[in-house]
Amino acid sequence: MSQTTSPQGIDAFIAGLPKAELHVHHVGSASPRIVAQLAARHPGAPVPTDPAALAEYFTFRDFAHFIEVYLSVVDLVQDAEDVRLLTYEVARDMARQNIRYAELTVTPYSSTRRGIPDREFCDAIEDARRAAEAELGVVLRWCFDIPGEAGLEAAEETVRIATEVQPAGLVSFGLGGPEIGVARPQFQPYFDRARAAGLHSVPHAGETTGPQTVWDALRHLGAERIGHGTSVVQDPALVDHLGEHRIPLEVCPTSNVATRAVADLDEHPIRRMVEAGLVVTVNSDDPPMFGTDLNTEYAVAARLLGLDEAGVAELAKNAVSVSFLDAPGKAELTASIDTYLANWGS
Ligand SMILES: [Zn+2]
């Protein structure tokens, strides 16, 4: 597709476009504004409170360093009020970008092991979810994910909360954290239980490791979408399989550069994924930590894929289509994207 010719520009189009986000982390969405609010509630934490110092703090050397910094922000979430505040404020940042629907990846284990009771935790996110929908027009759903680095104890706790407490907004079950040294197949029994409880399977795979991790996620964890899948293009058989079964990729371009999973944006395989016929969605992962947001990721994708406004709108509709929103919700959001495109420039 040709580059945009609109005088208003593709960035303005993206900013106003109704969007869905499928791969974004709860704590990882804590903007400097939100981190400062949390830090102010807990004096003495190692996380700086002023925005300039936070930007410096959020500059990562590598993926391991990213995890280290991420966990220091996790430490700021110490009680149910922190959880509620974080969740609602994340939705406020989404509303500003015209994100109308988001599947937020939440790691309940991080909070329950720090002493927040599971039901208090779930009540806090549910309270924020209802308020965000009513007051901000942002529909939130949850993906509860296992922090892979915490092992099988974390897997057990996560699936227990997911299946015993099962808050109303919970739609899926995930696996995050480092991939190197954290084999996917060991988590199969936990995914089996989550899936038996009606949850969708959306593990991270192929972000910092090769295609074998994606195969493992498909075969052992029943993956319905792949978190990242950056390395899939290295394996033609895997690309064929993903294309044939219409298994979407949750692509997060800037994240992949920030964690050094790819060298720079121009090296990102998103174009090869699209050219191979894969279902690609664009997401922000841990946006403030990577100095990005969903609008920026759409602009990056538009540049790398050479999309005009109609192409960007298709990308947004891809995300709605492969989301776990119910059918009426999908129809409504898709229609609002079509209407927005039709009225653009007129
Ligand atoms: Zn992620």
Where the chain has pLDDT below 50, the residues are 1-5
The SS3 assignment for 175 reads strand
pLDDT of residue 6: 53
Domain-located, residue 151: yes
- The CA distance from 211 to 242, in Å, is 12
Overall number of domains in the chain: 1
Centre of ligand 1 from the C-alpha of residue 262, in Å: 15
Contact 143, 102 (CB under 8 A): no
Centre of ligand 1 from the C-alpha of residue 173, in Å: 13
Catalytic residue among 21, 103, 207, 297, which? 207
pLDDT of residue 4: 44
Residue 164: Cβ within 10 Å count? 11
Known catalytic residue: 207?
yes
pLDDT of residue 130: 98
Domain-located, residue 1: no
Looking up tokens 């974080």, which residue turns up? 86
- The CA distance from 304 to 299, in Å, is 9
pLDDT of residue 46: 79
Centre of ligand 1 from the C-alpha of residue 176, in Å: 6
pLDDT of residue 1: 43
CATH of the domain at 88: 3.20.20.140
| Residues near 222 by beta carbon (within 8 Å), at least 6 away in sequence | 191, 192, 195, 201
Centre of ligand 1 from the C-alpha of residue 12, in Å: 27
Q: What domain range includes position 290?
A: 10-343
- State CA 270 to chain mean position distance: 17
Domain-located, residue 173: yes
Tokens read off for 271: 């174009």
Centre of ligand 1 from the C-alpha of residue 25, in Å: 6
pLDDT of residue 2: 43
- The CA distance from 150 to 143, in Å, is 17
Centre of ligand 1 from the C-alpha of residue 24, in Å: 6
Domain-located, residue 2: no
Domain-located, residue 4: no
pLDDT of residue 3: 45
The percent helix, strand, coil of the chain (3-state, each to 5) is 55, 15, 30
Domain-located, residue 5: no
Domain-located, residue 129: yes
Domain-located, residue 3: no
Give the CA angle between residues 234, 214, 227 to the nearest 5°: 105
